[in-house]
Structure 1
C-alpha cells in the first residue's frame, strides 16, 4: 500500500550512523574527536552547489506559507507589489499574483480557475527541486474558459495516478508534496474598468481537496514540523542545512534515471541524510555550519558576478531533465525563480562604462523605437538594491517602468528611463525610478513576456549611462 511504501522511518540506529560515518571517512570526509565531519573545501563546494536549488525553494515556498497563512490557501493580489515584499529576491512589479500554497500529502488539491480577460496569464508550479513547470498560459491558448486541475504527487494519499475524477478537466503530477502554484496575471492597470474585472476574476480562484470536490469532509492535514526558514539562503546553509535537506528528501520525488538526482543523494548519504529517514540532531552527522556558510557566501558572490552574462539566458527555469547544474545554481542564487524563455526572459541592464551601478549616482536608460524590447505581450524595467534584490523604498511606490508600472513614450516611440533621487526636469513621472542616495550597488532587470525569440537573438538590451 502507498501508506506503507512511503511511511517515514521513526528512528535511526546507532549502528547505522556508525556505518554512515565510516563510509564518509572512506570517501575523504573524516569525523573529528568532537563528532564534527571534516571536509575539504572541494567537498563543501560540491555539497553547496548541489544543494542551493533545494535550499532556495525550501526558503521561498515555506516563507510563502508563513506569509499567506499556511498550506492549501489562496492569496490574491489586488495591487502591484511594493518594497514591503521581502519574501523573494527580485520580485516583479508588473503583474498581479495569485499564490496558492499546496500540501499534497493527504489528498490531491484541485485548482478551480475562471476565464481571464487579460492578454497574459500563466500558471507556474514549483516544488523544492526548483524545476519550473508552466502547465497553463495564455501563450498556449489557455484561460479562455473556466477549468479545473487536479494536482498530486507520487506520495499523495487517496489518489492513484491515471484515476479520472468527475468534474476535473486537467491532471498534473508534481515532484513534491509542498508546492507553490502561482498565477501571473497582467492586470491592465492602465484600463481601470478592465482592471477591476480582472481583479474579480482573480478573486474567484478556489482550492478544493478531492474530498471537498465530492462534497465530503476533507481529510485532516495533520501537523508537520518544518525546519526553520532563514532571512536568506545563507542562513540555512549556516544554521540547519542537514535538517532542511532531510525534510526536502522526504517530500521530493527523485528519478533513479536522473544523473543530478542521484549525484545529490550520493553526496548526502555519507552524512546520514537519505529519503525516508527522520532528522535526529543527536544521531546524524555534524558539519561545521560556519564553514558551510563561508563557502556559500563565496559561491553566491561568484554567481552574482555572472548576472550580466547569464540573466538573459534562454536556458533558465526549464523543467526537470532540461537543466544543467551550473544554470540551476545560477538561477537559484540570482532569481530565485522565474519562467522559461518561451514565457518570459529577464535580461539585466548593464552600464555603458562597464562599472556596477551605485546609488551615489544618477543614470539614464535610453531606447529608440527600433531598440524597444521584442515582447509580444508586454515588458517592464525594474530597479533593485543589489545586495538583497529588493525594491528600493520610496513614497511614490514606483519600482518599475512599463505598461502597469507606468511609462510614457516620446514622440518617436522611444523612451528615456531615469534613475535618480530627484525627478530630473522635463522627465515624465512615469519614466522616473526614485533612488535613495547612498553608497550601495543597484541593478536593473528587464522582463519581456512572451518574447519574440527570433528577434531576441539579435536584440541587445539597453545600457545605463551615468549622469
Structure 2
C-alpha cells in the first residue's frame, strides 16, 4: 500500500506541472509514476460514474431506470444482453433505484419479502459499499421507509420525518440503491409473491411523501437528465478522452472527509491538474494530459488487476476484504474491485471465489471442463450459492441458445443422490449430465472466467473451505 509520504513526491511533480501551465509555458507531460498513481486513485470514481449513469440513463442497459429518481424492478433473471457491467449476476433478481438528492431528499418505500435472501446495497461514486438492510440481519420481514440525503441536499440536515424509519446520509449526490432478491424460482407461488413485492418498491421526493409536491411538477425527461452529466462510456474512454471533465463532476458531487487519508491523497493529486471540489470545469484552465498515454496506463492497470483473480494467495488473502464501507478499504482493493466486477457486496452478504483449473492454465473454450463437489465439499452458505461462466476479457455471459449462464438454486441445478454435484462446461451436453448442470460454450479460442457466489456465507467455515477446481476433460 502506498503511503502519504510517497504521494507527496508525486504531488510536488504535479504542482510544478500546474505552475508551468499557469505561466503559459509548455506543460510537462506526466510521468509514468504520476499516471499510475492517478489511475490507482481514480479508477473507482471513473468506474462508478459509468456504472451509475448506465443504470440511470443508458437505454441499452436492460436494467436501466429511465432516469434518476426512478426504479426498475427486474423480475426475470438476466441473459447475455446484459452488458452494462462486468460479471453481472444471474442468480438473484434485482431492483435498482437510481437516486439523485441534489434538489431534495428522496424517500424509498420498501415492502416485506418472503425470501430467505434479500439485501439492499447503496453505492456512490467513491465505490464504498453500505448495506443498510439485509435479511441476514432480520430485515425485510416488515415494510420499511428510508430517506436519503447528502451534505449538499438543500433544506435538510438529518432531522426526523414522520413516517420515515431510517434516514441515510449518502457520500454522494447520485447513488445506486440495489436490492438483490432470491426469487425461489422452484416455488411458483413464492416466486410470484416476491415479484409482486419487487413491483411495490416506490421512490418519491420528500415533498411528495409529505403530500406537499407542487401540482403539475414533472420529472425531467431522459434527455434532460443526460444533459446534466459528462458523457459516460467505457472506463478506458473516460481515461482517454474526458478524464478531468469527469473527475471535476465527480468531486463536485462527492463528500470528502478531511480526516480520511484516501480522500486527502486523491484531492492532492487532482488539485495540481486543476480539479477541486466546487470548481466549474474549464478545459482551458486545467492541465493538458496525454489521453492516449493515460488510457494505456489504465488498460495495463486493469489487466494487472484481472490477473490477480488467478492468484490463489491474493484471493485467499483479500476476497473477504472487498466491498466495504468507507474507512475499511485500501486504495489497491478499491481499484481491484472496480476493475474486476464493480457491483458487489461485503463478505457477510456474499463472497465471490473464482474457480481455477487443476493444471493452473486459463480456462479456454477450445476445451471442455468439469467441476465436481461431494456433499462434504459444497460451499458453506447459509442461504444459497451459484457458479457463473463469463468470457475473461470483458466479463459478460457466454451467449447460447439455452440461455444458461450459471448453475444454482435459481438458475437451475440438480444434485446427485449423495448431495454432491457435477457441473460441466462443454460445447455439447454429455448424455450423463443434467441440463441444469450444463454451461454451454461455443468451441473457439476464447478465455473463460468461472466465478462462484456464496450468499450469506458461514465465514468461520469459509476460512478452511477451498473452492473446487475445474478439470479439463479429454477431447470429445
What TM-score bracket applies, with the shorter chain setting the length?
over 0.9
1:384 to 2:375 alignment:
no
Q: Please, what is the CA RMSD of the aligned residues? A: 1.9
* Mapped contact 1:95–1:187 kept (Cα < 8 A): yes
CA distance in 1 between partners of 2:403 and 2:352 (Å): 22
Q: Which residue of 2 aligns with 1:56?
A: 47
How far 1:411 sits from its partner (Å)? 1.1
> How is 1:31-50 mapped onto 2 (pairs within 5 angstroms)?
36-50=27-41
CA distance in 2 between partners of 1:215 and 1:34 (Å): 58
* Mapped contact 2:20–2:26 kept (Cα < 8 A): no
CA distance in 1 between partners of 2:79 and 2:175 (Å): 24
TM-score (norm 1): 0.92
Q: Which residue of 2 aligns with 1:118?
A: 115
How far 1:27 sits from its partner (Å)? 6.3
1:32-76 deviations in Å (ceiling 9; x for gaps): 988555111001000110000100100100111113211000000
* Mapped contact 1:154–1:253 kept (Cα < 8 A): yes
How far 1:158 sits from its partner (Å)? 2.1
> How is 1:360-375 mapped onto 2 (pairs within 5 angstroms)?
360-375=366-381
1:26 to 2:23 alignment:
no
CA distance in 2 between partners of 1:174 and 1:28 (Å): 32
Q: Which residue of 2 aligns with 1:11?
A: none
Distance 1:70 1:36, change over 3 A: farther
Q: Which residue of 1 aligns with 2:230?
A: 227
Residue 321 of structure 2 aligns to a residue in which SS?
A: coil
Residue 258 of structure 2 aligns to a residue in which SS?
A: coil
Distance 1:28 1:269, change over 3 A: closer
Q: Which residue of 1 aligns with 2:400?
A: 394
CA distance in 1 between partners of 2:343 and 2:26 (Å): 37
Q: Which residue of 1 aligns with 2:272?
A: 270
* Mapped contact 2:428–2:440 kept (Cα < 8 A): yes
* Mapped contact 1:211–1:217 kept (Cα < 8 A): yes
* Mapped contact 1:365–1:417 kept (Cα < 8 A): yes
TM-score (norm 2): 0.90
Q: Which residue of 1 aligns with 2:330?
A: 324
How far 1:235 sits from its partner (Å)? 1.3
* Mapped contact 1:420–1:432 kept (Cα < 8 A): yes
How far 1:283 sits from its partner (Å)? 2.2
Instruction: Structure 2: give runs of 5+ residues left out of the alignment.
Output: 1-10, 58-63
Instruction: Choose the corresponding residue for 1:290, options 289, 292, 304.
Output: 292
> How is 1:31-430 mapped onto 2 (pairs within 5 angstroms)?
36-66=27-57, 67-161=64-158, 163-217=159-213, 225-230=228-233, 232-308=234-310, 309=312, 310-311=314-315, 313-430=319-436
CA distance in 1 between partners of 2:345 and 2:152 (Å): 26
Distance 1:436 1:23, change over 3 A: closer
* Mapped contact 2:18–2:287 kept (Cα < 8 A): no
CA distance in 2 between partners of 1:405 and 1:30 (Å): 58
CA distance in 1 between partners of 2:153 and 2:249 (Å): 16
Moved over 4 A (4+): 27-37, 218-224
Is the strand fraction higher in 1 or 2?
1
How far 1:443 sits from its partner (Å)? 0.8
Q: Which residue of 1 aligns with 2:4?
A: none
Q: Which residue of 1 aligns with 2:61?
A: none
CA distance in 2 between partners of 1:259 and 1:437 (Å): 49
Distance 1:25 1:115, change over 3 A: closer
CA distance in 1 between partners of 2:184 and 2:15 (Å): 59
Instruction: Structure 1: give runs of 5+ residues left out of the alignment.
Output: 1-20
* Mapped contact 1:28–1:39 kept (Cα < 8 A): no
CA distance in 1 between partners of 2:352 and 2:149 (Å): 30
How far 1:28 sits from its partner (Å)? 9.2
Distance 1:34 1:60, change over 3 A: farther
How far 1:157 sits from its partner (Å)? 1.1
* Mapped contact 1:36–1:288 kept (Cα < 8 A): no
